[in-house]
Amino acid sequence: MAGSEKTVVWFRRDLRIDDNPALAAATKDGSVLPLFIWCPADYGEYYPGRCSRWWLKQSLAHLGKSMESLGCPLVLIRAEDSTLAALLECVRSVGATRVVYNRLYDPISLMHDDKIKNELSALGISVQSFNGDLLYEPWEVYDENGLAFTTFDMYWEKCMNLTIEISQYLAPVKLVPVPGAGNLRGCSIDDLGLESSKDEESSNALLSRAWSPGWRNAENMFEEFVSYGLLEYSRQGMKVGGTTTSLLSPYLHFGELSIRKVYRHVKLQQINWENEGKSEAEESVRLFLRSIGFREYSRYLCFNFPFTHERSLLGNLKHYPWRLDEDRFKSWRQGMTGYPLVDAGMRELWATGWIHNRIRVIVSSFAVKFLQIPWIWGMKYFWDVLLDADLESDILGWQYISGSLPDGHELSRLDSPEVLGQKYDPDGEYVRTWIPELARMPTEWIHCPWDARSSILEVAGVELGFNYPKPIVELHMARECLDDAISTMWQLDTAAKLAELDGEVVEDNMNNIRVFDIPKVVLKMELSPSTSSLDQKVLFTNGKNKDLHPKEVKAPYKQVIQDGDTGSTANSHVTRKRSSSDSAFNVPSCSSSLIMHSQIHDPDSCSVLYSSYVQEKEDRSGVGKVEDNDSEDSGASATFFP
C-alpha cells in the first residue's frame, strides 16, 4: 500500500543529503527514521583514531542539522554490544518494515553487513543496499577471461571503456518521520563518546581552524577546487608544502561528497576548458581522474581479495623477513630518523593528521625499505593518526609501496631521501617548517646535514646526535640489508615450493619456481540455478558454517610477522608543535585469514558468482620496471587519494 512503509535509513560513511541513493529510496514511500549507530566493539583493532573521530563528530552534527530542517531528526545511538542489536531494537521499537543503506566494500564491513542482512530478513524485514560510494561496483569490472584485475592500469582502462551512470539523486525537500521515533532511546552527539574532554580542549580545537567537516562544506570545497585548483593540479602536485592537492579525501571517506558528482563536474569542466582552448588542463584532469581511479581500485581489491588488510596480494611476500624492531619503529613515528624530509613528514602527520600524497609515499617507502618495518605496522599507525584514514586506500597505498602488488614498486627499489628532498623541497622550506632544529641550515645542506662541515653545523646550531639525530641507517647499509632480505625471501619461497613438489623436481617445475604468486578470482561464470537475484553480497567458507572473522595466531607478535600493508591521510594548515612525549601505540599482532569464498548477488537483479581463490603461479611479465621519474611518482602518490 502506498505510503505504508516505515523505513530505517542506516547512515554510515554516507553522511550527506544530496545524491544519497539510500535516502532517496526511503523518501519515495512512507515515513523515514534516519539512524546512525556508533559501536566501538565492532571496529576491533581498526577502531578509528582521534582525528578521524573528530571529523565524524563534526560531520554528524552537520548532518543532524540538515535532517532537522527536513522535519526528520537524525537518531544517534551508542551501542555497547553490537550494531546489529541496536539496529534490531530500533526496528522493533518503531515497527519498521524496511532498512536501507549504502554499501561498504572493506572485508570487515562486508561480514557485519551480511550478518545484519540475514538477521533482518529472517524477521521479515525488507533490506535494500545501494551504491553510494563508487562509479563501478567491484563485480562489474573483469578481464576477457572473467577474472578480477590485479593491476591498476588494466583495471582503469577497462573502466574507461564501460558505460558509467552519473545521474544524480536529488536531495529531499521534506521527510515524514516514523511515528514513535521520539520514544527511541537515542543519545546526544557528545554522549557518543567520539572525543574525550582532553582532546576537545587541546588537540581537536586546532583541527577546526583548518577543516570544516560536513556535506555542505564538502560541496563548497569541491567547487573551489574545480574553479581554482584543478587547472594547476598537475603542476602543483610537485610541491609538498602548502595547499597543493584537492583536500577532498576526508570528505569522500565519510561520504559527504558524492563521487558521481565529482566525476560529472570534472568532466564538464574539462569540456569547457577544451572549448576555451586551454590545452594545459588535459594533464591535470587526467591525473585527478586517475586518482579517483585509484580510490575505486582500492575498493575493488579489498572486495575481491578480502585478505589484503592483513597480508600481501603477492603470495611470495609471506616469506619476507620483516624486521620487528620497535625502537626503529618509534624513531620513524616520532620523526627522529635523521633524514630531514622523512622526519618533517612524520612530524607534520602527528601534529595535523595530514601530509601531502607525495610525502606519504616517501615516509612509507622509508619505513618498509630502509627500516624493513612490516608494512602492516605502518598501515596501522596511519590508521590511528590520519584525519582521512581510509582502510581500503591505505591498504592499496602500503601494498603498492612495499612491492606487495604486481604493479607496485619493485621489491628492490630504494629511493634516497636526500635526492627526493632536493627534488620536492628544493628550498628546504618544508623541512624548516617542521624541524625547527634545522631552521638555520643552509639550503645546500638542509637535506644532508651529515655532509656539512662542522663549522656550518656550529653556525646553524645543529649538533648531530644531540639536538638532531644522525641517520638511523646509512644508505649503503640499507641497500645491503634490503638485497639480503629479498634474497632470503626467494630462498624460503623456493624451498616451500620444492617441498610442495614432494621431491619430484623436473625442468618444467623449476621454470615456475621463482615467479610471483598472484591469486585469481573469477567474477564472471555460469550462475548456479539456486542463485537468488534478491540476495545481497554473501561471504561463505566453502559451504561450511565457519566463523568468517580472521583468527588470531596464539603467539606474541614478536615471534612471526610475515607481511602486511596500508596507508592514508588528510591535509591541514595547523602548525602545532609535537608533544614531547610520544603517544602510546600498540603494535598489531599477526593474524591469519581464512581463505574466503564469496558468492555475490547484486540486489538489483544483476547476479554474479564470486568463486574461491585459485592460487596460480604467474610471472610478473608485462610489468615495467619502476623508475624514479615524475610519471611513476605521480602514480605512486595517487594511491594515497589527495
Asked if 610 and 524 count as a contact pair (C-beta separation under 8 A), the reply is no
Please tell me the distance from the alpha carbon of residue 46 to that of residue 43, in angstroms, as a whole number: 5
Asked if 438 and 431 count as a contact pair (C-beta separation under 8 A), the reply is yes
Q: In what side-by-side order are the strands of the sheet with 98-102?
A: 75-78, 31-38, 6-11, 98-102, 126-130
Provide the annotated binding site: 233, 245-249, 288, 388-390
Please tell me the distance from the alpha carbon of residue 489 to that of residue 500, in angstroms, as a whole number: 17
Asked if 290 and 638 count as a contact pair (C-beta separation under 8 A), the reply is yes
293: phi then psi, degrees, rounded to nearest 5: -60, -40
Asked if 564 and 312 count as a contact pair (C-beta separation under 8 A), the reply is yes
What would you measure as the largest C-alpha separation in the chain, in angstroms?
86
The residue type found at 388 is D
Please tell me the distance from the alpha carbon of residue 197 to that of residue 153, in angstroms, as a whole number: 46
353 backbone φψ class: left, alpha, beta (φ>0; ψ -120 to 50): left
Closest listed residue to residue 342, CA positions, set 419, 234, 399, 236: 419
Element (H, E) at 422: helix 417-424
Element (H, E) at 517: strand 516-520
Please tell me the distance from the alpha carbon of residue 569 to that of residue 588, in angstroms, as a whole number: 19
What are the helix and strand counts (H, E) for the chain? Answer: 23, 12
Please tell me the distance from the alpha carbon of residue 245 to that of residue 423, in angstroms, as a whole number: 18
**In 3-state terms, the chain is what percent helix, strand and coil (to 5)?**
45, 10, 45
Asked if 129 and 9 count as a contact pair (C-beta separation under 8 A), the reply is no
Please tell me the distance from the alpha carbon of residue 397 to that of residue 358, in angstroms, as a whole number: 11
Question: At which residue does the C-alpha cell 567537516 appear?
Answer: 213
Question: At which residue does the C-alpha cell 610519471 appear?
Answer: 631
Asked if 414 and 370 count as a contact pair (C-beta separation under 8 A), the reply is yes
C-alpha distances (whole Å) from 36 to each of 113, 129, 477 are: 14, 16, 51
Please tell me the distance from the alpha carbon of residue 594 to that of residue 610, in angstroms, as a whole number: 16
Question: At which residue does the C-alpha cell 561463505 appear?
Answer: 540
Q: In what side-by-side order are the strands of the sheet with 538-540?
A: 538-540, 597-602, 606-608
C-alpha distances (whole Å) from 344 to each of 171, 339, 351, 577 are: 43, 9, 11, 12
Asked if 430 and 344 count as a contact pair (C-beta separation under 8 A), the reply is yes
Give exposure, 545-575, as e/b (b: 16+ Cβ within 10 Å).
Answer: eeebebeeeeeebeeebbbbbbbbbbbbebe
286: its cell numbers: 587526467
Please tell me the distance from the alpha carbon of residue 585 to that of residue 594, in angstroms, as a whole number: 27
Provide the annotated binding site for FAD: 233, 245-249, 288, 388-390
Closest listed residue to residue 335, CA positions, set 500, 528, 577: 577
